[in-house]
Structures are given as structure tokens and as C-alpha cells.
């Protein structure tokens, strides 16, 4: 039995369908998304929530001439299927397959690369301005979620767009924050009414009429219009920013979406369309627990139960448990995150100490300066944010925390190669963007046991401190019952050998140990060092290794530019110790693509086999 989706490979084919067939198409899209993500993992709840919205946008607008920019892009699965990638959808998030986010190199329908939050409005406005300068004519639509809209960059974009008055549409996908509860027959009718061409012509005519009577009459008419809009629609804020507000519209009623978008298509100037959707729509487990199904690994389709994974606690879980233990001992501890309480493991502390937990939403810049203010008053703030997202707050870390040398602890989850989320989410730059800041301590644990000691060390320090650790399960080592402070700036010699020294940091320490064991079979004896600290370095240990062994390999899961290896080379140069027999192993000058973590580590030569090859090449140097 053929399906509607089988016949649709492009939006052009979609637009030939009878509107009455679109609800069935939505069901078929959901089935494909659920089946695929149950095998590949991915962002399920958000994509299920915008199926009807995606259909309506491509049905009404002339894509790819008209351009859709998806904010973050984790809700773009239906968009990918409808824009020529249906047969490739099974490769979602697989190495060499479809990205989990829009990518310009992947399709002409992907108009802007995304992956981080709150960029769509600024990008859409830039494209709209370029369109005007080139004297072209087409529609530009930014689709942004309610959480992303609250971030500073999105509000800056709205403010600028309202000022420039460019012809653009912002679709606010409201699936959680309940900006308005006015969803029903009356509000939907009003939305359709105020977007209709008859109303628009009437509004323009009345404005012209009152202007002809004089400024006092025009001001009175404007105030009266805003008063009634304030009663019937929750769009006064957007109207004041210069946007014509439309909504709220039920986001799973394709007929309402089609009618509104057809009306809006004929309007000019900045327009904000408020669409209310349900995260996880159409899949009961995701509707019941949208947070868990926001980003999920492979799962059993029928029940929603995750498939078996590697046993043992994750780094995130150990951090969570340790922070709660320390908070019970130290009343100065407070915890802050930016819209990621579950992902960072702070939900446990939030449950036990709700008065000590702050989720500021997608506002990393604010989170850091908020923490700085707390630290000034004697508290010990712990900020848990994914490595890739902390990049947004670079200036606040430098200017507000490090410059004042405030005791703020930065916990960078998902550091290094994160895997299937790819280039926008890999945390491969934190050593580099933090290391050059004065006053900060930077650590990376080799395992989950060392993580708990580093957390205490950071909190007890009187300086800014950062701890970074990888995504996924820990090594499986036992945890010490007593959590203690580590000596700041001191590494750990794990094994000794006279032929070469492997100085590793964080997630590369155990691969370095494995490599040393493999090299031993070939008669090569290596000293293996767990550096622990990127800043301050264990200068005494590293200089001793350079003088006594000479041949040093540094290993890190970070870009080489400005990273741990660079720090070692700078140290040896400063101490006038020849460094011609030092090799730095890490990620070269590139953005790492999506794929399984272990596969990518092997590809980029930072696994045990890559370390073996690098040591042998180092020993061959004359």
C-alpha cells in the first residue's frame, strides 16, 4: 500500500497535494522520524512538535527561493525529509550521513548552518538586508523556540529588525513556556482576521484617514488600536518592538496554519507569528517526558525505553553526586546552569537544595556575571555548562570573573569530541579559549574518581577554576569515600620509562597508558604522566622530563592551536630548553564532523593506536 510520503521528495511536489491530505502526511512523517531516531538517537521531541508547522511553511512559501532559517536546528528532521533527503534520513547523525542540524553544504534548502541557540533572527535580518541591497524579492522566515527567544542575542535581533522595518517573518514556536494561554476558537479566529488582506487594507486606509486629520487624531487612533490588541492578543511587547504580532495559533491544526501563512505572505514589514505546539506530539513517551526525549540515544520504539548502554556511572552523574555531597558540607556553594539542568546533572542538587539552584535559561553571558556577583559577596558559585555553549560567555569569564580573580568554578561538560551532534557541539576549544586568561586554574580529570577531587579543589580555591570532562560513561574506577584537595599545578607520574615521555591530559590519559603497554611489547619504555592541570602546568616535572628523557609527546582532546601542547612548548621555550624533540598530538586546524566518539578519536589519531604511532615517529627523529 503506497503512502503519501512515498510520492513527496521536494516541496514542489508537496505543494501539489490537496490540503485535506496533509494531516495524513504529518502522521507518516512522525512515523519515519520515530522509527529512525529509535535506531540512530537524536533530537526527537522537538522535531515531532513542528511536523505540521514544517509542512505548512513549505506548502505556503516558495522554498528554496523563500528561505527558512531554523533556530538551533534540532527540530529540522521533517524539513530534511521533505527537502530531498528522505532516502538518506536513515543515515541521520551517522558518520558520513546526514547531520542532525541544518547544513548549507547538505542542501540548498538549508539556508544557514545552525546548532547553537538564538541565531536565527539575526541571520534572517542580515539575509533580508542583503536581499534589499541586491533589489531582489523573496520571503525570509526565522523559526525560533520560546526558550531560545529569551536569550539576549534573539532579543537584540528583534530590536534591530523592528528598527530596520525589513520584510521578514519570525515564527515563535511556543512549546513550553506558555507565553500565552489564549489558544482556542476565538483567538484563532482573531489571528486569521488580523492577517487577512481585507483587514490589512482597512488598517492602512484608516491610518491614512486619521493622519489626514492631524497628528492628535492619529495618535488617538493608534492608542485605541493598541488597547484593543492588548485585550485580545498577547502581542503588545512584539508590537512595541516594531513587529506585527499574529497569534497564538494552534500549531497542530494544519488548516489554521495554512490560512494564516497565506495571509501573512501578502504582508510587508517585520511580522511575528506565535504558534503553540506540543513537544513530542504523536509519540506518547515523548509527550509524557519531553525533556528526556529532547536529545536521546537509541531506544525501543514501542516502549521508549533506552537500549542498553555501557554500564557504570557517567562523568556527569559523578559530578552531580559530588556537588550534592560538597553542598552539604559547605553552605557557600550555589549552582547555576543555562537551560541545561538535566543535561549537566544539576537536577539532583536542585531537588535537594532548591534555594541554591539557578537555571537562568539560555543566557550563558548572564549566568557568568550573575555568578561573579555572588562570588563578590562570599559565595562559591559552580556554573555547569556544556563546553561548546560556554564559548558564548568568553568576555564575561575574562572581564567579570578572571580580571577580578573571583572564586567561580566552571564545570565544562561534553568537552572534547561529543560524537553524533558534530561540529557545533564538539567541545574542542576550551583549553585554548580559557588558557590565556590570567588568574584561572584549568583541570581535566583522567577518570571519575579524580573528577570529584578536582571539584573540591576548584571550590576551595580562592581563584577562578575550570574543570572539563567528556561526554558519556566514566572509566569504571572505584570512587574514594573521602573527597580531598589536589595539589594545584602538580601532575602524576603513572608509569616510568627512559625512551620517551607521554604527557597526557584528561580523556587521553588512559589511552596513553594503553599505548605505553603496547609499546613495551616492542621494547620501548615510556614514562606516562597524567598532567591534571593545563594551568598552572607542573613546570618542574615537565622540565625534568625534557632534560632527562628529551623526547616528549603531549596528548590532548582539544585543538592544538593554543592548547595543552602549546602550553608545554611555551614553557620549554621560556626555560630555554630545546624543544625540537617534542611532538604535540591533538586536533589539527579543523572542525570535527559528526560520528561515533571512538571512531572520531581513532580517525584524528588521539586514541591508543594513534599515540603508539606518534611515539614511534618521535623516536625516529634525529
Give mean pLDDT, residues 167-189.
63
Output the nine-digit C-alpha cell for 34. 520515530
Split at pLDDT 50, 70, 90, the class of 409 is very high
pLDDT at 213 over 70: no
Q: Does the pLDDT value for residue 63 go beyond 90?
A: yes
pLDDT class of 219 with cuts at 50, 70, 90: low
Catalytic residue among 392, 435, 532, 535: 392
| Residue in this structure with the C-alpha cell 628529551, named with its chain if needed | 550
- Return the bridge partners of 172, or none: 144, 274
Q: pLDDT band at residue 220, thresholds of 50, 70 and 90?
A: low
Mean pLDDT on 534-558:
96
Q: Which three cell numbers stand for residue 211?
A: 493622519
Please determine, for residue 508, whether its predicted confidence score (pLDDT) is greater than 80. Answer: yes
Which domains does the chain carry?
5-288 (3.40.50.970), 315-470 (3.40.50.970), 492-619 (3.40.50.920)
- Look at the pTM and tell me if it is higher than 0.75: yes
The span from the CA of 80 to the CA of 89, in Å, is: 8
Instruction: Please say if 463 is a catalytic residue.
Output: no
Residue 502 three-state SS = strand
Q: What is the pLDDT of residue 564?
A: 97
Q: Is the pLDDT of residue 514 over 50?
A: yes
Per-residue pLDDT, averaged over 555-562, amounts to 97
Confidence of residue 222 (pLDDT cuts 50, 70, 90): low
364, 448, 450, 557: the active-site residue: 364
* Cα-based torsion angle of the residue sequence 198, 201, 206, 211 in order, rounded to the nearest 10 degrees: 170
Q: Is the pLDDT of residue 185 over 80?
A: no
Task: Verify whether residue 364 is a known catalytic residue.
Answer: yes
CA distance 339 to 77: 22
Nearest to 430 by CA among 606, 603, 557: 557
pLDDT, position 107: 95
pLDDT in tens, 76-121: 999 999 999 999 999 999 999 999 899 999 999 999 999 888 999 9
Q: What's the pLDDT band for 189 if we cut at 50, 70, 90?
A: very low
Burial class (CB in 10 A: 0-12, 13-18, 19+), 596: middle
* Mean local confidence (pLDDT), 582-600: 93
Confidence tier at 147 by pLDDT (50, 70, 90)? confident
- For cell 541545561, the residue is 340
Q: What is the pLDDT of residue 206?
A: 57
Give the pLDDT band (50/70/90) at residue 198.
low
pLDDT at 451 over 90: yes
Q: What is the mean pLDDT of residues 342-346?
A: 91
Cβ neighbors of 477 (< 8 A, separation 6 or more) are 447, 448, 449
More confident: 579 or 603:
603
- Res. 54 pLDDT band, cuts 50 70 90: very high
Average pLDDT on 407-430 reads 93
Among residues 80, 85, 244, 279, the one annotated as catalytic is 279
More reliable by pLDDT, 306 or 427: 427
How big is the chain by its Cα radius of gyration, in Å?
Answer: 27
Question: What are the beta bridge partners of residue 273?
Answer: 171, 246
Residue 180 has pLDDT above 50, yes or no: no
Percent of the chain clearing pLDDT 90 (strictly above): 71
pLDDT score of 430: 96
88-102, 448-462, 510-524: which has the minimum mean pLDDT? 88-102
Tell me, yes or no, if 621 is annotated catalytic.
Answer: no
pLDDT of residue 292: 84
Average the pLDDT over 212-217 and give the result. 65
User: Got the DSSP string for 289-335?
Assistant: -TTTTTSB--B-TTT-PBPP---S-BHHHHHHHHHHHHHHH-TTEEE
Q: Which residue in 492, 497, 505 sits closest to 527, CA to CA? A: 497
Amino acid at each position: 500500500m503506497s503512502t503519501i510520503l512515498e510520492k513527496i521528495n521536494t516541496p514542489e511536489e508537496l505543494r501539489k497535494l490537496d490540503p485535506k491530505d496533509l494531516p495524513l502526511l504529518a502522521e507518516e512523517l512522525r512515523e519515519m522520524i520515530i522509527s529512525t531516531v529509535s535506531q540512530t538517537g537524536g533530537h526527537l521531541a522537538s522535531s515531532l512538535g513542528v511536523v505540521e508547522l514544517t509542512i505548512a511553511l513549505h506548502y505556503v512559501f516558495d522554498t528554496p527561493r523563500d528561505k527558512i532559517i531554523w533556530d538551533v536546528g534540532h527540530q529540522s528532521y521533517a524539513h530534511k525529509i521533505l527537502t530531498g533527503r528522505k532516502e538518506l534520513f536513515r543515515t541521520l547523525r551517522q558518520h558520513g550521513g546526514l547531520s542532525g542540524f541544518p547544513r548549507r553544504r547538505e542542501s540548498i534548502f538549508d539556508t544557514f548552518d545552525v546548532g547553537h541557540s538564538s541565531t536565527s533572527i539575526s541571520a534572517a535580518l542580515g539575509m533580508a538586508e542583503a536581499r534589499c541591497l541586491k533589489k531582489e524579492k523573496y520571503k525570509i522566515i526565522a523559526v525560533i523556540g520560546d526558550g531560545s527567544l529569551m536569550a539576549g542575542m534573539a532579543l537584540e535581533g528583534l530590536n534591530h529588525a523592528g528598527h530596520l522595518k525589513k520584510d521578514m517573518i519570525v515564527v515563535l514556536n511556543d512549546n513550553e513556556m506558555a507565553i500565552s494561554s489564549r489558544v482556542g476558537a476565538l483567538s484563532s479566529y482573531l489571528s486569521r482576521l488580523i492577517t487577512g488582506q481585507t483587514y490589512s487594507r482597512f488598517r492602512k486606509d484608516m491610518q491614512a484617514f486619521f493622519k489626514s486629520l492631524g497628528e492628535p487624531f492619529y495618535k488617538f487612533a493608534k492608542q485605541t488600536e493598541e488597547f484593543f490588541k492588548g485585550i485580545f492578543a498577547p502581542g503588545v511587547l512584539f508590537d512595541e518592538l516594531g513587529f506585527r504580532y499574529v497569534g497564538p495559533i494552534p500549531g497542530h491544526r494544519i488548516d489554521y496554519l495554512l490560512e494564516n501563512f497565506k495571509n501573512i505572505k501578502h504582508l510587508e514589514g517585520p511580522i511575528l507569528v506565535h504558534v503553540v505546539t506540543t513537544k513530542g506530539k504523536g509519540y506518547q513517551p515523548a509527550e509524557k517526558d519531553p525533556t528526556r526525549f529532547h536529545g536521546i540515544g537509541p531506544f525501543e520504539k514501542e516502549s521508549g525505553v533506552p537500549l542498553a548502554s555501557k554500564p557504570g556511572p557517567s562523568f556527569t552523574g559523578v559530578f552531580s553526586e559530588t556537588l550534592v555531597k560538597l553542598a552539604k558540607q559547605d553552605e557557600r556553594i550555589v549552582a547555576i546552569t543555562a537551560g541545561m539542568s538535566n543535561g549537566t546533572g544539576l537536577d539532583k542538587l536542585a531537588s535537594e537544595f532548591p534555594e541554591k539552584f539557578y537555571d537562568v535559561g539560555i543566557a550563558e553571558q548572564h549566568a557568568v556575571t550573575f555568578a561573579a556577583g555572588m562570588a563578590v559577596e562570599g559565595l562559591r558559585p559552580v556554573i555547569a555548562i556544556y563546553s561548546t555553549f560556554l564559548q558564548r560567555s568568553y568576555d564575561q569569564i575574562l572581564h567579570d570573573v578572571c580580571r577580578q580573580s573571583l572564586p567561580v568554578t566552571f564545570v565544562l561538560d561534553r568537552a572534547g569530541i561529543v560524537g553524533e551532534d558534530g561540529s557545533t557541539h564538539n567541545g574542542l576549544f576550551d583549553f585554548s579559549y580559557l588558557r590565556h586568561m590570567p588568574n584561572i586554574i584549568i583541570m581535566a580529570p583522567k577518570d571519575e574518581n579524580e573528577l570529584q577531587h578536582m571539584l573540591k579543589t576548584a571550590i576551595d580555591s580562592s581563584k577562578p577554576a575550570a574543570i572539563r570532562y567528556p561526554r558519556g560513561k566514566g572509566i569504571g574506577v572505584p570512587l574514594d569515600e573521602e573527597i580531598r584537595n589536589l595539589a594545584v599545578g602538580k601532575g602524576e607520574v603513572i608509569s616510568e620509562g627512559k625512551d620517551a615521555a607521554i604527557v597526557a591530559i584528561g580523556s587521553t590519559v588512559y589511552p596513553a597508558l594503553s599505548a605505553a603497554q603496547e609499546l613495551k611489547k616492542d621494547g620501548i619504555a615510556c614514562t606516562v604522566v597524567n598532567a591534571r592541570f593545563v594551568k598552572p602546568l607542573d613546570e618542574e616535572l615537565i622540565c625534568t622530563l625534557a632534560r632527562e628523557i628529551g623526547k616528549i609527546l603531549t596528548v590532548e582532546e582539544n585543538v592544538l592551536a593554543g592548547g595543552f601542547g602549546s602550553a608545554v612548548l611555551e614553557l620549554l621555550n621560556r626555560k630555554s630548553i630545546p624543544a625540537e624533540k617534542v611532538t604535540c598530538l591533538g586536533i589539527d586546524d579543523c572542525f570535527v564532523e559528526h560520528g561515533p566518539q571512538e571512531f572520531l578519536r581513532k580517525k584524528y589519531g588521539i586514541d591508543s593506536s594513534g599515540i603508539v604511532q606518534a611515539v614511534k615517529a618521535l623516536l625516529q627523529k634525529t
